[in-house]
Amino acid sequence: MTEPSGNPRNPRRDIVFAFALALACYLAWLIRDVLVMLYVSALFAVVLTPMVRFTSQLRIRRWQPTKSSAVFILLIVVAGALGAFGFLALPPVISDLQGFSREMPSRLPGLLEKLKSVPLAQHLDTEDLSSRFQGFVSQAATYLLFSISDWAGKLFDVVMGIILTIYFILEGDHAYRWFLSLFPPEHRERLDRTLQRAEIRMGKWLLGQGSLMLILGVVSTIVYLCLHVRYAYALGVLTGLLNIIPVLGAAICIALALLVAAIDSWGRVLGIAIFYLIYLQVENSYLTPRIMKNRVGLPGLAILVALIIGSALEGVLGAMVSVPTAVLVAVLLDEYLVRKDAVELSS
């Protein structure tokens, strides 16, 4: 049997190639966590590169920042924002938690007595509930104590991801050219154009998502202040930041805000629920179509499927990168599958 080019097939070569492919897949599975970190870091670098490029184009008198200086400036801005957030938002939360932990043993019997007045709750064993709650608190403290090593590992992964993202931003051009060199010369130009188009669309996604985050953060902060909700500024900032995760971020924001509002008044809970019902309708019917439709170019179903797959594979991190990944996949499919089929049909 011969190949279409006329060269005789070599069974030994096919067997070696199959074993090499299986070995490569096995090694990729072993280091899948490292590969995921590299992919996420490279993706964040692609998304953040327009911001670095914009910062490097700023001019202060005769001084214009280089790419390294632009990255350093962005890091300083992010660190300053996080430091200001922690300085302004965390002390009230920590103080309330300390007061709650001190007052809980004395307030628990009163809370259980009030619970008896709730319909269908008269038959509850309050002593059993009290003992169960105390056991839950001790188990939670034990879990937090033994999970310090896990948190340290997660922190190390975050730090390494940030370092890799910085390196990809600074030296991404060299890595990109090396990646293109792995393909035959006749296919490099087309692949280059396709990836450049995907980069533009992912940059537009970042701009649109940032606009939605800013709008939700500002509006929710105003609503929290008007309703006199505790930690209004902290909740507003978290609401805006978590909106980077489609659907899931909004759900977390709603649950957290309702939980904080329930500490003081059910009327505030009702007010926040009404606000989110109105805002989600406005965002889904007006803001998102006008801000994201022309920027991302993906239908809502595709974004939802990408979110489900990303969160199932890598949790919150996978949900964060699900939309730009879907944009990349859509551009590649459009270039190499849809257009190829169109060319074959026209020919």
Q: Which residue has the tokens 């920027």?
A: 295
CA gap 189, 184 in Å, rounded: 10
Per-residue confidence band for 13, with pLDDT thresholds at 50, 70 and 90: confident
Q: Domain containing 61: what range?
A: 10-98+150-182
Q: Is residue 131 part of a domain?
A: no
Q: At 134, list the tokens.
A: 């105390």
State yes or no: pLDDT of 260 exceeds 80.
Answer: yes
- 109 lies in a domain? no
- Residue 20: inside a domain: yes
Domain boundary among 182, 205, 224: 182
Helix (H, G, I), strand (E, B) or coil at 105: helix
Total number of domains in the chain: 2
**6: helix, coil or strand?**
coil
Q: Which of 133, 163, 182 is the last residue of a domain?
A: 182
Residues 22 and 169 in one domain: yes
What pLDDT was estimated at residue 176? 84
Residue 107 domain-assigned (yes or no)? no
In a domain? residue 239: yes
Residue 119 has pLDDT above 60, yes or no: no
pLDDT digits (tens, 9 = 90+) for 227-255: 888 888 888 888 888 887 766 777 788 88
> CA distances (Å), 130 to each of 112, 117, 136, in order?
8, 17, 10
Asked if residue 164 and residue 45 are part of one domain, the reply reads: yes
Pair 291, 245 in one domain: yes
249 and 177 within one domain: no
pLDDT at 109 over 70: no
In this prediction, residues 20-44 reach a mean pLDDT of 84
Q: Establish if 268 belongs to a structural domain.
A: yes
In a domain, 294, yes or no: yes
Q: Are residues 172 and 247 in the same domain?
A: no
Say yes or no: 158 and 306 in one domain.
no
Q: What is the mean pLDDT of residues 38-58?
A: 81
166-169: long-range pairs with CB below 8 Å, 24+ = 166/71, 166/75, 168/41, 168/42, 168/44, 168/45, 168/46, 169/45, 169/48, 169/49, 169/52, 169/67, 169/71
Q: Measure the CA–CA gap between 104 and 99, rounded to whole angstroms.
A: 8
Task: Please identify, among 182, 202, 233, the residue that sits at the C-terminal boundary of a domain.
Answer: 182
**Residue 112, in any domain of the structure:** no
If phi > 0 it is left, if psi is from -120 to 50 it is alpha, else beta; for residue 132 that is: alpha
Q: Is the pLDDT assigned to residue 309 strictly greater than 80?
A: yes
198 and 75 in a common domain = no
Helix locations, the chain, DSSP H: 11-30, 32-56, 67-116, 126-146, 148-181, 185-226, 232-242, 248-262, 266-282, 288-296, 300-320, 322-333, 339-346
Whether 155 and 215 share a structural domain: no
Looking at the structure, tell me whether residues 79 and 44 fall in a common domain. yes
224, 154: one domain: no
Together in a domain, 286 and 166: no
Q: What is the pLDDT of residue 1?
A: 46
The C-alpha R_g of the chain, in whole angstroms, comes to 26
Cα angle: 291, vertex 166, 29; to 5 degrees = 90
For the chain, the farthest-separated pair of C-alpha atoms sits apart, in whole angstroms, at 89
